[in-house]
Structure 1
Amino acid sequence: MSTRTLISPATLGRPRGKVVYWTVLTLVMLLFTLVFIGPLYWMAVNGLKSTEEFTRIPPTLVPHGVHTDNLTNAWRVMDFAKLLLNTVWYAFGALAFQLVLDVAAAYSLSKLRPVFGKAILAMMLATLMIPAAVLVVPQYLTVLDVPIFKRNLLNTPWAIWLPSVTNAFNIFLLKRFFDSIPRELLDAASIDGASPLRTLRSVVLPLSRPILGVVSIFAVVGVWKDFLWPMLTLPDPGKQTLNVGIYSLAQGVPENWLTAALAMASIPTLLIFIVFQRNIMSGLTAGGLKG
């Protein structure tokens, strides 16, 4: 079966067609690279400029001098280490809860087939159609006075951890991967006397490392980049995340120090993507086809 493309093989085989094709492709790639890399480069270089050069008009594309003391000053004045530890604590706590509860939910929907399982999954996926801003007020009222328990979760890690567990997208990714695991493996484990929990621990989870890695990265990055929810639920300056702490102290520091702090705050998530980008892509595509 022939494949339909915008450019026919005959046109692409001609010298002029090759020149036009590669020229357009190069320009498009350069444009997209500029759009995505440009803001990161601008943030990095502005964080290394002096205060005088930072406010210069027109701005300089390359700093005349590299002022690494901006990084150390921002680290010290903003108590960056404290904010970083807070964010790591919230991010990996959310990761632990998501791995336990989201995996259990996805496994139940995929392999245990509960009554009304399809309806439950449909309602979960329907929440993805609701803008996140619409849910801010009811979620805030919930953590302000948790029903039944009558507890105020403000200024506690639970205000970050519990809402992060209700992640329909991660549950859907996990369920789709679990669906691709051959039923014969689970039946063999059941014949050997393994309970559903033992089957999950000994058979399903070892096969699910790619998708578990993707969910872990999404969980950490989701908490790391969040701003509005931590700002509402963590008013105590000593318990704030990086984004909220930098925003709270933005008025009292020079703008080049602020930009340097933003650059340092973005480094961990950039490193996570650079190191695990292959795992992210392979995990997202895993389970798409049954083998």
Structure 2
Amino acid sequence: MEEGMEALVMDDMSVKGFKVGSGIVLDYSHALLAIRELGKFHALSYAIRDQKPELLKEWISKSADSFYNSTLKNIGMKAIMDVGRVVLESYESSENRTESEVLESFLSRLPQFFELPSIGKADKYSVINHGDFQMRNMLFKYGDSSQPHHPTALCMIDWQLSRLASPALDILFFLSVCSDKNLREHHYDNLIQEYHKSFSSFLKQLGSDPNVLLPFEVLLHHLKEYGGFGLCNAMWLIPMAAQECDFSKCTNEDALLKEFPTSPQQQYVPIIRDIITDFIKYGYQL
């Protein structure tokens, strides 16, 4: 309780049966658990905002965004521009005209997606975001011997990018980085609905009304409004997640940029093209 004498208590989650998920993209059983737990996590913020607003204000006053206020965002924009040009060049002039035009417009407006007011204004729907909700930051437990490959519990780790923003940002991050076309094609609508069901159920248990604090229609609107944020994540982080990056010896921005790889075209381009096509179909603003 004394300033300057704080302690951080850590727990070994492997002893409790948790382990890092394998791969980059989640299958449906892992995605379903993850989106439900994300809904419960966001419900905590809404309950605090509703029942103890002074506590949330205190957190906000002592917190600042650690990514969008840093020079890392310049590295991110450079990496996205580089891979964006590769994806643009992959489109044939006679096909995918809509996707090509959308991507070209998106790249021309890229800086606005890296400005704090554009990534989720601090309004009544803002919550504490995880900020980096991807596979390497999820620990899974497999507690059902009859279904050994289906997770039964999830532990989120790595909170250094947490910030106050729309809950849609965490969802978009998750959908853009941790899903593939097959998962989205068969389960996109269901995952969004399951998020809100989990959110609503837990928020009711906490004593607040989800239909007042985050109506489903508002969530859908935010997903469309912040769609460009999801595409930014995909274009930057999917190539990085596919390769090992060593930041320990980076002493300047140029060195950092070199550690953010652009995957070979045959591996990377189809994934981003699928995301662009799907996001256009969902009506996301890119």
Q: Please classify the TM superposition score into its range, dividing by the shorter chain length.
A: under 0.3
**TM-score of the pair, normalised by structure 1:** 0.27
**TM-score of the pair, normalised by structure 2:** 0.27
